[in-house]
Amino acid sequence: MDKGSSIYIAGHRGLVGSAIARRLRALGFTNILTRTHKELDLLEQAAVRRFFEIEKPEYVFLAAAKVGGIHANDSYPAEFIRDNLLIQTNVIDAAWRSGVKKLCFLGSSCIYPKLAPQPINEKHLLTGPLEPTNEWYAIAKIAGIKMCQAYRRQYDFSAISLMPTNLYGPGDNFDLQSSHVLPALLRKFHEAKEAGSAEVVVWGTGKPRREFLHVDDMADASVHLMRVYDEEQIVNVGVGQDVTIAELAEYVRDAVGYTGRVVFDPSMPDGTPRKLLDVTRLHATGWRAKVPLDEGIRQTYEWYLENVAPPRLMAL
What is the pLDDT tens value at each position of the chain, 316 positions in all?
A: 999 999 999 999 999 999 999 999 999 999 999 999 999 999 999 999 999 999 999 999 999 999 877 778 888 999 999 999 999 999 999 999 999 999 999 999 989 998 999 999 999 999 999 988 889 999 999 999 999 999 999 999 999 999 999 999 999 989 887 778 999 999 999 999 999 999 999 999 999 999 999 999 999 999 999 999 999 999 999 999 999 999 999 999 999 999 999 999 999 988 778 889 999 999 999 999 999 999 999 999 999 999 998 766 444 4
pLDDT value, residue 310: 77
DSSP per-residue codes, 182-239:
HHHHHHHHHHHHHHT-SEEEEES-S--EE-EEEHHHHHHHHHHHHHH---SS-EEES-
> Is 129 within a domain?
yes
65 contacts 23 by C-beta, under 8 angstroms: no
Alpha-carbon distance 184 to 157, whole Å?
A: 39
69 contacts 43 by C-beta, under 8 angstroms: no
Which range marks the domain in which residue 79 is found?
Answer: 7-307
Alpha-carbon distance 1 to 265, whole Å?
A: 49
> Is 313 within a domain?
no
Residues paired with 217 in a beta bridge:
none
Residue 141 CA from chain centroid, whole number? 12
Annotated binding site for substrate: 188, 203, 210, 270
Alpha-carbon distance 212 to 221, whole Å?
A: 14
pLDDT value, residue 199: 97
> Is 316 within a domain?
no
What is the model's pTM? 0.93
pLDDT value, residue 312: 60
Active site residues: 137
151 contacts 158 by C-beta, under 8 angstroms: no
Residue 265 CA from chain centroid, whole number? 26
> Is 238 within a domain?
yes
Largest CA distance in the chain: 70
Annotated binding site: 11-17, 106-109, 141, 164-167, 180, 188, 203, 210, 270
Annotated binding site for NADP(+): 11-17, 106-109, 141, 164-167, 180
CATH number of domain containing 245: 3.40.50.720
Alpha-carbon distance 315 to 102, whole Å?
A: 56
Domain count across the chain: 1
The contacts of residue 308 (CB under 8 Å, 6+ apart) are 174, 187
pLDDT value, residue 176: 81
> Is 1 within a domain?
no
